[in-house]
Amino acid sequence: MIYFDNSATTRVDEKVIEEMARVMNEMYLNVDSGYKGSEEVKKSIKEKKKIFKKILGLNPDNFSFTSGGGEANNFALTSIMRREKKGHLIISPIEHPSLLNTALELKNEGYDVEFAKVDEYGNIDLENLADIVREDTKLVSIMGVNNEIGTIIDMEAISRVVKSKNPSTYLHIDFVQGLKHIDYDFSKISVDLLSISSHKIHGPKGIGAIYIKDGVKIKDQVYGDNSENKYIPRTMPNELVFGFLKAMEIDNNMEHIKELKKYFLSKLEGISNVYVNSPTNSSDSIINVSFIGARAEVLQNFLSSNDIYISTGSACSANKKDSHVLKAIKLPKDRVISAIRISFSKYNTKDEIDKFFEVLLPFLNMVRSIK
């Protein structure tokens, strides 16, 4: 099997599996129980959470664990907007479905939702953003790294624009695709909420986290009596938490991934009617490319039959007809319908890339020859 869909999910690192097995055998006590053993587990989690400060530059005590990036994104929007009966929310048209669909639900509830403009590379139009931030803008929510084309958003500039226009407006960053794929110190910008996830960095599924800055006023969205997970009161899934934190500690080998992307792009040279849709300021993990003359789902199905797995877009919106991201950046129709996403991990190799092209090119030429 050749797996080039690591933006959808990743293979769990062996060290993470070992850590989770250890915790399930030795540290399975409920952290809310109050006795000595559970207090020791609680202290261990608190110590391990210091990795959030090391990697992201943010106070680890301000992170609550969620069931994943989707729940973190949902919580970020609803907990801020539902504090009041009305308010203005800004997102972009290229956000993850967990944000877009939540925003649409809030719109149905009567909140004013507005979309910031993006350019042809997926960058936020800063002048437009400055124009649409209002006195009643409660929240601006932006994806730090786009999950389909890999664009790395200028988060510092967005923070500066939002806070200079309205210091009371909160800023949420969806950093699910950015975590351990790009280095970023969030202590250097003003960010109020941040979403991250485990399974994009070789950790287990079913666990993510949301950062909420001190002083941010929210309305609770999840109710319960568990005290150790602040905003999401539920029984702490110890093995998932420790697995996530272990994945945070392990090197993602981004230099290797950078070389893979460079090598893949070099293999595209000489192939006719190929367009790279990912901009230069994109994650090394993601390449979005259009092979004109072949529909994306046809390529995906053929490659899948050869045990090569790629994506036609976000796994969380796989039933869509055309990519909302590619349409929002105004790509021509022939590029939209022929676009596939390749996403790498530390486990991929150049030999796999060679095999990809060895399998793809004869089929591509055959498909293009059919009139």
- Predicted structure pTM score: 0.95
pLDDT above 80 for 315? no
What's the CA gap between 143 and 72, in Å, rounded? Answer: 13
The angle at the Cα of 350, spanning 348 to 355, to the nearest 5 degrees, equals 95
Q: How does pLDDT run across 14-61, given as a tens digit for each residue?
A: 999 999 999 999 999 988 888 998 899 999 999 999 999 999 999 999
Domain covering 2-9+252-370 in this structure, CATH number: 3.90.1150.10
Name the amino acid, one letter, at 245: L
67 in Cβ contact with 96 (< 8 Å): no
Domain ranges of the chain: 2-9+252-370, 14-249
* Alpha-helical runs (H) found in the chain: 14-26, 36-48, 51-56, 69-81, 97-108, 126-132, 155-165, 238-249, 254-268, 296-305, 324-328, 333-336, 350-369
Structure tokens at 221: 């969205």
Residues catalogued as catalytic:
316
* pLDDT, the chain, mean: 94
What's the CA gap between 30 and 117, in Å, rounded? Answer: 46
265 in Cβ contact with 50 (< 8 Å): no
What fold is seen in the domain 14-249? Aspartate Aminotransferase; domain 2 (3.40.640)
Q: How does pLDDT run across 219-273, given as a tens digit for each residue?
A: 888 887 766 677 887 888 999 999 999 999 999 999 999 999 999 999 999 899 9
SS (H, E, C) 238-296: HHHHHHHHHHHHCCCCHHHHHHHHHHHHHHHCCCCCEEECCCCCECCCEEEEEECCCCH
